[in-house]
Structure 1
Amino acid sequence: MSYRFLKGHGTENDFVVLPDADGTVHGDLDPARVRALCDRRAGIGGDGVLRAVRGDDGWFMDYRNADGSTSEMCGNGVRVFARYLHDHEGEPYPVSIGTRDGVKVVGDAGDGLLTADMGTPQVYDATTVTVDGTGHAARHVATGNPHAVAFVDDLAQAGSLLTEPGYDHAVYPDGVNVEFVVRRGERHVAMRVHERGSGETRSCGTGACAVMVATALADDAPRGTSYRVDVPGGRLDIVWTEDDRVLMTGPAVLVAEGETDL
């Protein structure tokens, strides 16, 4: 059986979008099929799969990592998902999207950009991560997904990120996304990321939000201060508002659609 798909990305964090309004086509979306779809040589290719399901409470984003595991949230993915709903399902902005981390609202910021309300961040104690045998102090921040944010002098200190960084499994029993961050200027940082279930990616939206929160805390920046976060795939602009919400603005592009029997 063949079925419809779309391909999209947000700052080159790319996804396979599977329309499944009534939940009947992909209700049995198992890890093997997700891995086949995300395979960059034998499949469509992507950092994850976004299944679009419509229920009694509206649209739900069923997100899977490239290895087939589920994830609570995907920041770049929710913008791509909103773009799909607007362009192909006729949903007006702002659009509310159900996720495993609750409902996210995504609005039009103009010039091809969308702004996602990522909710209230959770900040925890310091922790450590290890790459290539070297330990790095990190800040534990949750922005839907768990993150460890480590400030370094050079992004090369992140190593190849081909293997999963070491971390405290008692702190992160469900795994962790690890961000390495350098400062580029005032209210301006750059990052690399290893995402659990996907490896190093060109961008991570929830990770960029965690980086912004950790940087704002380190700077003692007042709420409402906007930060620019550069990722290998582009730029995200993020603000932690006075009412304790993290708003992330960035591109969301649909680049292809077709049918597959993967």
Structure 2
Amino acid sequence: MTFPWLKGHGTENDFVLLPDHDGTIHGELEGAFVAALCHRGRGIGADGVIRVVRSQALGEQSAGEWFMDYKNSDGSVSEMCGNGIRVFALHLRQEGLIDPEQPLVIGTRDGDKSVSFVGDEISVDMGTPEVRGVSKVTADGRTWEAQDVRTGNPHAVAFVERLTDAGSLLTEPDYDTATYPDGVNVEFVVRRGAQHVAMRVHERGSGETRSCGTGACAVAAAIAHIDDAARPVTYRVDVPGGTVHVTWNADDRLILTGPAEIVARGEMEWIA
């Protein structure tokens, strides 16, 4: 079949976007097809695939017209993607599918998200985080205590002396499967200064990525919890692909702000 596609990224966390407004092009968006598209040797190459589809077409109960149908690069389903939703919103704006002067609500598997355009960047209300207990993670033969934080996706946040302590991250870190029966994103974090941190992340279903939006939110929530920080409080989070900012506001919600870019587009004939 022949279909349109776009390539975009948020702080180098990259995605293939598939416009499929009425849901008739890609059916159930098969996992094997997603994995093949994301393969960096045989496909377009990406950390995940985002189908741009109307909520009604998927039967989703959302206040937003548009739904972000997101899957990881291995074809597995993900609840939320903080970088991906900014790329999604930018695409809608560039294609004239929304009024950028009006409030924008996008449906996701983690519920509706409010999105706003702030200068050259995009802000997303990521909701209220759940800061739970602690467990252990192991990478490159070393083990750390990790804070359990839920920001749409599950996260284990470990503070390390150096980001290189986690090793190559070519393999998934070991984690407590009782705490995370459906897998987990693991963040390795160092403090850079007051309300300023840097992180690396191994995402379930994608491996190490250049950035993770829900992960940056989880890191900010973990630090604010440890420091007993008064709200509102904003953290700068440096990732290998750039910088995002996370505000935990007085309404107990996390606001993720960062850039997004569309870098390529085309049509392709897919030969299964």
Q: TM-score, normalised by structure 2?
A: 0.94
Q: Secondary structure at the match of 1:217?
A: helix
Report the equivalent of 1:128. Answer: 136
Q: Distance in 1 between matches of 2:130 and 2:67?
A: 23
Q: How far 1:92 moved relative to its partner?
A: 2.2
- Corresponding residue to 1:150 among 158, 164, 170: 158
In 1: Cα distance, 2:213 partner to 2:28 partner: 27
**Match for residue 79 of structure 1?**
86
How far is 1:95 from its partner? 1.4
**Aligned residue for 1:192?**
200
In 1: Cα distance, 2:96 partner to 2:173 partner: 39
Partner Cα distance (1:172, 1:204) in 2:
18
1:80-104 CA-to-partner distances (Å, cap 9, x unmatched) read 0111111114212331110000001
The equivalent of 1:96 in structure 2 is 105
Contact 2:170 2:207 in 1 (8 A): yes
For the residues of structure 2 that align with 1:127 and 1:31, how far apart are their CA atoms? Answer: 30
Q: 2:244 aligns with which of 228, 236, 243?
A: 236
Q: Are the equivalent residues in 1 in contact too, given 2:137–2:143 (CA < 8 A)?
A: yes
Please identify, of 141-150 and 215-224, the stretch whose mean Cα deviation from structure 2 is larger: 215-224
1:60 corresponds to: 67
Check conservation: 2:113, 2:125, Cα contact below 8 A: yes
Q: Aligned with 2:68: secondary structure?
A: strand
Q: Distance in 1 between matches of 2:99 and 2:17?
A: 19
Q: Distance in 2 between matches of 1:107 and 1:61?
A: 16
Mapped contact 2:185–2:215 kept (Cα < 8 A): yes
Amino acid at match of 1:27: G
2 CA distance for matches of 1:141 and 1:251?
24
Q: Which residue of 1 aligns with 2:30?
A: 30
Among all aligned residue pairs of Structure 1 and Structure 2, give the percentage whose two residues are the same amino acid.
Answer: 63
Q: Secondary structure of 1:236's partner?
A: strand
Q: Distance between the aligned counterparts of 1:136 and 1:206, measured in 2?
A: 21
CA distance in 1 between counterparts of 2:8 and 2:55 reads 23
User: Aligned AA for 1:25?
Assistant: I
The answer as to 2:121 corresponding to 1:116 is no
Give structure 1 stretches of 5+ with no counterpart.
none
Residues 1:179 and 2:187 are matched in the alignment: yes
SS at 1:118 equivalent? strand
Is 1:167 the counterpart of 2:175? The answer is yes
Shift of 1:53: 1.0
CA distance in 2, matches of 1:209, 1:28: 30
> TM-score normalized by structure 1?
0.97
Helix, strand or coil at the partner of 1:206: helix
CA contact (8 A) 2:55 2:107 kept: no
> Stretches of 4+ moved more than 4 A in 1?
none
Distance 1:26 1:89 in 2: 22
